[in-house]
């Protein structure tokens, strides 16, 4: 069988620490956002990316006006 993976079978949300493994992993790969920051990369789960988008919009809003 094709079981020579490099152990990349866990995704961890860099914001809330939530982890996706097993069955949740395939779904997480589709729904989670892969964020890139200088010097590091991190997954952001679907919940956090929504919250994040909201807070970013809110900040932009208050700075904008």
Which stretches of the chain bind Zn ion, using CB under 5 A? 13, 15-16, 18, 45, 48
Q: Tell me how far, at minimum, the Cβ of 28 lies from Zn ion, in Å.
A: 10
Q: Tell me how far, at minimum, the Cβ of 16 lies from Zn ion, in Å.
A: 3
The residue (of 3 and 23) whose beta carbon lies closer to Zn ion is 23
Cβ-contact 44, 52 below 8 angstroms: yes
DSSP letters, 22-57, are THHHHHHHHHSEEEEETTEEEEE-HHHHHHHHHHHH
The residue (of 31 and 65) whose beta carbon lies closer to Zn ion is 31
């Amino acid at each position: 069988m094709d079981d020579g993976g490099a152990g990349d079978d866990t995704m961890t949300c860099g914001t809330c620490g939530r982890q996706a493994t097993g069955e949740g992993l395939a779904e997480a790969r589709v729904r989670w956002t892969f964020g890139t920051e200088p010097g590091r990369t991190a997954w952001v789960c679907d919940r956090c990316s929504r919250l994040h988008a909201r807070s970013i919009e809110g900040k932009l809003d208050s700075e904008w006006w």
